[in-house]
């Protein structure tokens, strides 16, 4: 089960208490204060890890806590600091506070870290209160409580290329043909129920592209029909969009209208997606009616770049890969982003 959204309750560690203690040594009748300070509580730290793909660990375990700091002791022994709670999260994660529904941060680059909640500072031992006028301080302070809160974690897939299309257009088959990913395929709609990431290899260039297969959309997805928002948010960070169009007109579908409906759904969800570079993969060109549909498609949508492909006959795939590479490399190096 792919989990891309969940709510967690997190707590940083409390600081340890300071100690009230005095030296007790033979032949030292009036030993001074030697109470140590309390240790700092552990922080809650988020670490971006490319080996983590979704949020299932937080779905099944929504409560996480860092360790408390130890109390101070005699002989000027400071308490040990609490161990941090380091949570490994997937790239593309947005952290939203449920208190005000505002985003706190987002983690995009593998290896990046963010201290979400800080542990409490340790209390002062009585040694720190010693002065020329207060030789035997009887006071110490308690440690500060650690920060805590409830957060909503939302994953937005990071990929170079995002595939969009209506159910049964052939997205999963295309991903199987040009990447090593193996999403489920079938001759029926909605075989893909979760976004999947594949890698398109370019061995001669020693390079690769990440390609995201987004589950089939339905009309009205921008209004959150079906699983609209859950699917659409996974293309927000894709640099290039590929529209997979069933050019055979299966089930009496009109390829031109399918393209226009997909564009409308994306623009209604996020107007910024209308400015994203795009390419149409005209699939199922092995079907008898495909050539005529492609001719009409090109005549009515003259400004839309089209690459005819047939996954069944494995035709047009090398040309598609080359066009994708050129489109992605023509974009700025920064990953497209939008407000959470």
CA quadruple 284, 285, 288, 290: dihedral sign: positive
CA 267 to chain centre: 22
pLDDT in tens, 12-57: 999 999 999 998 888 877 788 999 999 999 999 999 999 998 899 9
Residues 143 and 168 in one domain: no
Specify if 42 maps to a domain: yes
Question: Helix axis angle, 255-269 relative to 290-300, nearest 10°?
Answer: 50
Q: What is the CATH number of the domain that holds 299?
A: 3.40.50.300
Residue 337: is its pLDDT beyond 60?
Answer: no
Specify if 338 maps to a domain: no
Token pair 């340890």: residue: 16
Mean pLDDT of 146-168: 92
Residue 199: is its pLDDT beyond 80?
Answer: yes
Residue 229: is its pLDDT beyond 60?
Answer: no
Q: Please answer whether residues 284 and 294 qualify as being in contact, where contact means their C-beta atoms are separated by less than 8 angstroms.
A: no
Residues 288 and 143 in one domain: no
> What CA dihedral angle connects 33, 145, 82 and 148, to 10 degrees?
-170
pLDDT in tens, 211-220: 988 875 655 5
Residues 127 and 182 in one domain: no
Which of 136, 155, 174 is a domain's end point? 155
State pTM to two decimals.
0.81
Mean pLDDT of 218-226: 49
Q: What is the largest CA-CA distance in the chain?
A: 106
Domain of residue 73, residue span: 5-155
**Average pLDDT score, the chain:** 88
pLDDT in tens, 158-184: 889 999 888 888 888 888 889 876 544
Band (pLDDT 50/70/90 cuts) for residue 230 is low
Specify if 339 maps to a domain: no
* Segments in the chain forming alpha helices (H): 56-60, 171-178, 228-232, 255-269, 290-300, 317-329
Band (pLDDT 50/70/90 cuts) for residue 338 is very low
Q: Please answer whether residues 270 and 297 qualify as being in contact, where contact means their C-beta atoms are separated by less than 8 angstroms.
A: no
pLDDT in tens, 294-336: 999 999 999 999 999 998 899 999 999 999 999 999 987 644 4
Q: How many domains does the chain have?
A: 2
């Amino acid at each position: 089960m792919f989990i891309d959204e969940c709510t967690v309750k997190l707590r940083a560690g409390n600081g340890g208490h300071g100690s009230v203690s005095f030296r007790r040594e033979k032949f030292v009748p009036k030993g001074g204060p030697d109470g140590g300070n309390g240790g700092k509580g552990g922080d809650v730290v988020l670490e971006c890890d490319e080996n983590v793909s979704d949020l299932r660990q937080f779905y099944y375990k929504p409560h996480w806590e860092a360790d408390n700091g130890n109390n101070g002791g005699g002989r000027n022994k400071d308490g040990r600091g609490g161990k941090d709670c380091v949570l490994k999260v997937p790239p593309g994660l947005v952290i939203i506070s449920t208190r005000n529904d505002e985003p706190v941060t987002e983690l995009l680059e593998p290896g990046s870290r963010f201290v979400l909640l800080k542990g409490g500072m340790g209390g002062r031992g009585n040694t720190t209160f010693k002065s020329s006028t207060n030789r035997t301080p009887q006071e110490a302070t308690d440690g500060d409580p650690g920060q805590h809160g409830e957060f909503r974690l939302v994953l937005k897939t990071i990929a170079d290329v995002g595939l969009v299309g209506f159910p049964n257009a052939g997205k999963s088959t295309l991903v199987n043909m040009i990447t090593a990913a193996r999403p489920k395929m079938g001759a029926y709609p909605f075989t893909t129920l979760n976004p999947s990431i594949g890698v398109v290899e370019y061995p001669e260039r020693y390079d690769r592209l990440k390609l995201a297969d987004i589950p089939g959309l339905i009309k009205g997805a921008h209004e959150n029909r079906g699983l609209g928002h859950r699917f659409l948010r996974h293309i927000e960070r894709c640099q290039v969009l590929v529209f997979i169009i069933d050019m055979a007109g299966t089930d009496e579908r009109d390829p031109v209208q399918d393209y226009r409906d997909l564009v409308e759904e994306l623009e209604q969800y996020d107007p910024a997606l209308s400015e994203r570079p795009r390419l149409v993969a005209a699939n199922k060109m092995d079907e008898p009616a495909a050539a005529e549909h492609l001719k009409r498609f090109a005549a009515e949508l003259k400004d839309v770049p089209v690459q005819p492909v047939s996954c069944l006959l494995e035709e047009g795939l090398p040309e598609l890969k080359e066009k994708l590479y050129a489109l992605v490399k023509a974009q700025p190096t920064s990953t497209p982003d939008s407000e959470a």
